[in-house]
Amino acid sequence: MKKFAIAAATATALTLTMASAAFAQATQATHAPMMLAAGEVTEVKEDVSDTWITTKVKADLVTEKGIPGTDIKVETNKGVVSLSSTTVLTDAQKTTAVQIAKNIKGVKAVSADGLKAQ
């Protein structure tokens, strides 16, 4: 039951993220006469991508057996995922968490310096 609730929450978060991206594209399309700065458009795409990556990594960590996914904080900046935790993890759990993050599309690098290992 807990996995279903987590999966439902993750699906909702992903749906909202995708809807936000679609809304942003629709808004830009309806304001065609308005000129947008090139950096502004790139920044929006990075934010959406980073949000999606963070959500996907968190969802995969939470559903992975043997990983305290709810205790691992995930942050993404320009495709670089940072993992941290106040809970002590085994070396195997740390390795698995890093591998899960690396397997997500769009992840450029993973930093696990914030994960406490035994």
Are the C-beta atoms of residues 94 and 115 closer than 8 Å to each other?
yes
Spell out the alpha helix ranges (H) of 31-90: 38-63
pLDDT number for residue 117: 79
**Is the per-residue pLDDT at 15 higher than 70?**
no
Whether pTM exceeds 0.75: no
Mean pLDDT of the chain: 79
What ranges make up the beta strands (E) of 9-108?
72-77, 80-89
- Specify the number of domains making up the chain: 1
The number of beta carbons lying within 10 Å of the beta carbon of residue 85 is 21
pLDDT tens figures, 30-44: 554 555 555 555 555
pLDDT tens figures, 50-81: 999 999 999 999 999 999 999 999 999 999 99
Residue 78 belongs to what domain range? 2-117
The number of beta carbons lying within 10 Å of the beta carbon of residue 110 is 20
Are the C-beta atoms of residues 83 and 102 closer than 8 Å to each other?
no
The helix/strand/coil state of 111 is strand
The number of beta carbons lying within 10 Å of the beta carbon of residue 27 is 9
**Length of the chain (residues):** 118
